[in-house]
Structure 1
Amino acid sequence: MTSERERTHVALLRGVNVGAHNRIAMADLRATAASLGWQDVATYVQSGNVVFTSAEQDAGELARALEETIAEHVDVRCGVVVLTREELQQVAAANPYPHETDPKHLHVVFHSRDPGPDTAATLAVAVERAQELGGRDEATLVGRHLYLRTPDGLGRSRLASELTRRPAADAPVGTARNWATVTNLLALLEGPPPG
């Protein structure tokens, strides 16, 4: 049974507050989420991370509702991936790179659904190309989420560049977060709500 002091879900927005487009204030995002009847709403950093409590358990329905409400009230169109607290706990527990001590060098791409067969093949080709170019990056697909280790930093990652340049034809909507964000969101889900 869920404690009254624990939030139940996290919503991850894709592509907001990067550059001049898709700008959304976190106060507006919190108000938008609350307008859906979600409770214990809190945001974390400016990249569009919302933790909240909802009786609705269908992650796809929660994501669709937030996408539509943001588009209607804030005039921003963005993809949204929603996970339950338990799903985020599983993501943290399944980390294939526990030896990476710098949380800015480890990222998770959260997908809205299971990737198709082309995604794994595209990933294997991208890893091979990046290694041929001298990259030290590693990537592992676990379920519907992609773990990406970038020891030289994400901005200098040959693998990230390859994946961005040649996405799989069947790739689902996805949004990346570094490991520091993952662990901080998990702490917010497990901690007391605001107020």
Structure 2
Amino acid sequence: MTTYVALLYSIVLGPGRRVVMSDLRAMAAGLGLANPRTLVATGNLVFEANGSSVAELERSLEAAFAQKFGKHVDIIVRDGEAWLKLVAANPFPEEAGRDPDQVAVRVMREPVTADVIERLRPYVAADEKLAAVNGDIWLYFSRSVGASRLLGALTPRRAGGIGTSRNWNTVRRLGELVAGGGPGPEPCAK
């Protein structure tokens, strides 16, 4: 079995409606995915599966989500090895140690190109950092994330396609789950 991480772009279904993580785990179990577990209530799913490609898993999860919750949501899937590589590639380790909630990565479905990073540079404030590592976009917000122009610029058009952002705390904790340690989120039995 291979371990996978699935990141949902947004789990807001409409005014006052959110996806309950137990429902997300049940949806994954219904697809035959083994040991589905979630981390925080923002659409982070870890599971095991055999014989499926990342693209197949993304399509299956997106279709099941739309059927169960009535809304399409982009879902980015990485296998465990790729996730651990992403964790190890953090280009801002000093900032992550000091301000882990101010370091984020936009995990991309397709790798970004150098021109995407150059298009985003005008939105980076003097006290912020931007880097592309292994096709993902890493960010350091040294001030309020909500006040950053860069955050607003991370649209699919400007960022080079479908992606979703997670802060360093979440990235690291998902890495711990993939590696077999870390917090014990509530699993879902089939």
Same fold (TM over 0.5): yes
TM-score (structure 1 length as normaliser): 0.83
Higher strand share: 2
Quote the Cα distance in structure 2 between the aligned partners of 1:105 and 1:31.
32
> Residue 35 of structure 1 aligns to which amino acid in structure 2?
G
Question: Aligned pair 1:46/2:37, yes or no?
Answer: no
What is the aligned partner in structure 1 of residue 106 from structure 2? 109
Deviation at 1:20?
2.6
- Aligned counterparts of 2:16 and 2:76: Cα–Cα separation in 1: 19
Which position in structure 2 is the counterpart of 1:127?
121
The yes-or-no answer on 1:30 pairing with 2:21 is no
SS in 1 for 2:137: strand
Match of 1:156 among 127, 147, 158: 147
Q: TM-score w.r.t. structure 2 length?
A: 0.85
Gaps of 5+ in 2: none
What is the alpha-carbon distance in structure 2 between the residues aligned to residue 108 and residue 91 of structure 1?
9
CA contact (8 A) 1:122 1:167 kept: no
The answer on whether the counterparts of 2:124 and 2:130 sit within 8 Å (CA) in structure 1 is no
Counterpart in the other structure of 2:169: 180
Structure 1 consecutive aligned stretches of length 4 or more whose deviation exceeds 4 Å? 192-195
Equivalents in 2 of 1:15, 1:173: separation in Å?
12
Contact 1:94–1:142 (8 Å) recurs in 2: yes
Measure how far apart 1:19 and its partner are. 6.6
The alpha-carbon deviation at position 21 of structure 1 amounts to 7.2
1:138 matched to 2:135? The reply is: no
**For 1:73 and 1:178, how far apart are their aligned partners in 2?**
27
Identity of aligned residues (%): 32
